[in-house]
């Protein structure tokens, strides 16, 4: 009886490994890209001048998924310098502003894209709130960014720090508006086409495809 039980366990193990391998192969398409399940993909973005929103829309157009705008209980002031001063103060004391946005089914998502502008060369406080509020352990996190031409600053590194138990992939970044100079929404015409091509190239690089 013990021998038969041992043999049965071996057979079950082989079957399990075979099923796992088959499933893994089914997640790779002919181009060697990982297929992504739209129903288990979330795209969360924070956008003040709608440039990051435009990038989020481009991503969704290419991989589908659920698109969610990150909103605050108390929105930031419309006046630019007042907002800059408030964000600097929040960063200095580690304040996490309460979010109005609530995602009550986070457990259903395997892949979470997070989009944000660079504020003060850092990750914006609302996105810090989001990453601190939800348990993203075991998920794949994909950051994307727009900025005024000064780059991502420490934002991508902060994402990694706030998601220690997640797999954080290489992010995407592009120049958006320069609100300080009155240049707001720029994702139109040739710029929009440029960013669309860059996003597709990036998705291919990180091996994501619908």
Instruction: Indicate if 1 and 74 belong to the same structural domain.
Output: no
Instruction: Indicate if 46 and 85 belong to the same structural domain.
Output: yes
We report the CATH number of the domain holding residue 91 as: 3.40.50.360
Instruction: Indicate if 110 and 179 belong to the same structural domain.
Output: yes
For residue 140, give the 3-state DSSP assignment.
Answer: strand
Q: How far is CA 73 from CA 27, 102, 149, 184, in A?
A: 39, 11, 29, 23
Instruction: Indicate if 19 and 40 belong to the same structural domain.
Output: no
Phi (first) and psi of residue 167, to 5 degrees = -95, 110
Q: How many CA atoms lie within 13 A of 36 on its CB side?
A: 27
Tens digits of residue pLDDT in 19-41: 333 333 334 444 555 678 999 99
Tens digits of residue pLDDT in 86-131: 999 999 999 999 999 999 899 999 999 999 999 999 999 999 999 9
Prediction pTM value: 0.85
Instruction: Indicate if 42 and 57 belong to the same structural domain.
Output: yes
Domain encompassing residue 25: 1-30
Are 140 and 171 within 8 A, CB to CB? no
**Overall domain count for the chain:** 2
How far apart, in whole angstroms, are the C-alpha atoms of residue 9 and residue 203?
41
Answer yes or no: is pLDDT of 155 > 50.
yes
């Amino acid at each position: 009886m013990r021998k038969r039980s041992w043999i049965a366990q071996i057979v079950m193990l082989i079957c399990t490994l075979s099923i796992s391998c088959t499933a893994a192969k089914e997640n790779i398409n002919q181009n060697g890209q990982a297929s992504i399940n739209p129903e288990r993909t979330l795209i969360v973005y924070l956008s003040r001048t709608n440039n990051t929103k435009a990038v989020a829309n481009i991503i969704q157009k290419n991989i589908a998924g659920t698109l969610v705008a990150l909103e605050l209980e108390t929105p930031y002031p419309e006046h630019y310098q007042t907002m800059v001063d408030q964000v600097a103060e929040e960063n200095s004391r580690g304040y996490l502003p309460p979010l109005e946005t609530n995602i009550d089914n986070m457990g259903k998502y395997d892949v979470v894209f997070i989009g944000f502008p660079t504020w003060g060369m850092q990750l914006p406080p609302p996105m810090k709130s989001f990453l601190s509020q939800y348990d993203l352990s075991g998920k794949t996190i994909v950051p994307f960014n727009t900025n005024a031409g000064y780059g991502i600053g420490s934002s991508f590194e902060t994402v990694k720090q706030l998601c220690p138990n997640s797999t954080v992939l290489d992010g995407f970044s592009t120049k958006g508006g320069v609100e300080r100079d009155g240049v707001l929404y720029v994702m139109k015409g040739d710029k929009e086409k440029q960013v669309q091509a860059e996003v597709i190239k990036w998705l291919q690089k990180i091996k994501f495809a619908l």
